[in-house]
Structure 1
Amino acid sequence: MTEEQFYDSLRQKGIELSDVQKQQFKRYFEVLVEWNEKMNLTAITDAPSVYLKHFYDSITSSFYVDLTAVESICDVGAGAGFPSVPLKICYPHLQVTIVDSLNKRINFLNHLAGELELENVAFVHARAEDFGRNPKYREQFDLVTARAVARLSVLSELCLPIAKVGGLFVSMKGAAASEELQEGAKAVKLLGAKLQEEHEFLLPEENSERHIFIFKKSKQTPKKYPRKPGVPNKTPITG
């Protein structure tokens, strides 16, 4: 996907980028490649693939969720900033918080935010389980999202505790999505949410399968969740 194809694809979805926003994406690509030489951020470094598999793919959730009605987003385990930084570029009003367990990725994100002149972004070095138990963040966000972090049964326990009651948890998944949804159904319900919408589509050009699950949080998450770091991954809530 060339830069122009990227802009055109977004335009077809009603997202018209300004010259400033286009420059932000261009600089994002440059910084990603620069830093990737020093630390392992991504295996994808050629421009067409980055624009398709990182930038465009990150923005797809906004085709199904009205982000103009959302103020605060938390991105769990964002790594190199996906999906929340591309969403922030497209929707500058968003207040974005990223939590990641690796400090070197947080350093990258701080540098990136400076280069892109992003405002109202916060990067927190923490395990997602500890973050979700912190009163400062617990049940504080309008929308919580994650991409390529964990299976839904595990991810729900990391994301739902920090979503507001009435807020959304948006999970971006690939081909195994249906199986994950079935496996994670108990966790989603126990943690206070239910599936509101499910969308399936193919990523342009490579035609790989994508699923976006939109969960609505209807009640508070029980205080015992999330459990201690590592426990959700070892013993997911299933059954």
Structure 2
Amino acid sequence: MSKIETNVLPPMNQIWSQTLNWQPSDAQEQLFQQIYQEVLEGNRQQNLTRITSPEDFWEKHLWDSLSGIIALEEILAHQLQIIDVGTGAGFPGIPLAIAFPHWRITLLDSTRKKITFVNDLIAKLQLNNATGIVARAEELGRIPGDRASYDLALVRAVSKPSVCAEYSLPFVKKGGLAILYRGHWSDEDTAGLAAAATQLGGKIELIHRWETPLSKGIRHCIYLRKDSTTAKKFPRAVGIPEKQPL
């Protein structure tokens, strides 16, 4: 089998449909395949991901990216402003930009090389609804035009739950959601996050637990509803949320 053949994502339309009640069009499937090829190529220059087998990439990057969103049926058709905080190689933001072309998605990361890769990938995929920005969440979350300007803020396990909340909730409009993508989750995590969210103007609305379709791993998405204005002191200065979590 040639190298090109081994780097082809498996056909997963039936699993998409069974697990998320959604499946990509042929054009979207081709874009997902192109993401995979570009990430494999980008891995030669920098460490983008350790998840490189076709099945793992599909499940842990593509399926996982959409799994936290699909349940929000009441808002999927709306034109939303999304920010992906700590996007890394572009997940979950780029798969969501493909799946929901009517959304505007900002992909944020503090590592310039990663955002350079992300913006190059956006250009190659010809996505006109996504853009990458190099910045720290603690700084961008204080800037008018970004603060309290997004319908959804997404954070995929970049730090402790309370830190992720402090990174994300300042970006969210009142009434919007911050969505934390996590693996393991405990009652202790819930208690700690609930206390932090209250300080940030939010509350835990839902903790969704499910099993990944191939590896049967346990995943959680925590949905934080922004129900009041975030105090001006948040987010705190760069590095403080990590060193002194709420």
| Interval of TM-score (by shorter of Structure 1 and Structure 2) | over 0.9
SS at match of 1:211: strand
Deviations 1:20-59 (A, max 9, x none): 1011001000000001011000011111110111111111
Distance 1:69 1:175 in 2: 31
Q: What is the Cα deviation at residue 130 of structure 1?
A: 0.3
C-alpha contact 1:70 1:142 (8 A) present in aligned 2: no
Q: What is the Cα deviation at residue 70 of structure 1?
A: 5.1
Distance 1:25 1:94 in 2: 17
Query: Once superposed, what is the RMSD of the aligned Cα atoms?
Result: 1.4
Percentage identity across paired residues of the two chains: 36
Which of 4, 12, 16 pairs up with 1:10? 16
Alignment partner, residue 36 of structure 2: 29
Which structure dedicates a bigger proportion of its chain to helix?
1
C-alpha contact 1:144 1:159 (8 A) present in aligned 2: yes
Is the deviation greater in 40-49 or in 174-183?
174-183
Q: Which amino acid aligns with 1:108?
A: F
Distance 2:90 2:176 in 1: 22
Alignment partner, residue 49 of structure 1: 56
Distance 1:97 1:141 in 2: 10
SS at match of 1:108: helix
Cα distance change of structure 1 residues 177 and 133 upon mapping to structure 2, 3 Å threshold: farther
Q: What is the Cα deviation at residue 109 of structure 1?
A: 0.5
- 1:192 matched to 2:201? The reply is yes
Q: Which amino acid aligns with 1:30?
A: Q
- 1:87 matched to 2:96? The reply is yes
Alignment partner, residue 87 of structure 2: 78
Normalising by the residue count of structure 1, what TM-score does the alignment of the two structures yield?
0.94
Alignment partner, residue 232 of structure 1: 241
Aligned residues: 236
SS at match of 1:157: helix
Alignment partner, residue 5 of structure 2: none
Is the deviation greater in 104-113 or in 119-128?
119-128
Which of 153, 164, 170 pairs up with 1:155? 164
Cα distance change of structure 1 residues 59 and 109 upon mapping to structure 2, 3 Å threshold: same
C-alpha contact 1:154 1:232 (8 A) present in aligned 2: yes
Alignment partner, residue 69 of structure 2: 62
Q: Which amino acid aligns with 2:162?
A: S
Distance 1:70 1:150 in 2: 29
Normalising by the residue count of structure 2, what TM-score does the alignment of the two structures yield?
0.92
SS at match of 2:69: helix
Is the deviation greater in 94-103 or in 201-210?
201-210
- For structure 1, which runs of at least 5 residues remain unmatched after alignment? none
Deviations 1:177-207 (A, max 9, x none): 5432222221101111111112111111211
Q: Which amino acid aligns with 2:14?
A: D
C-alpha contact 1:192 1:218 (8 A) present in aligned 2: yes
SS at match of 1:93: coil
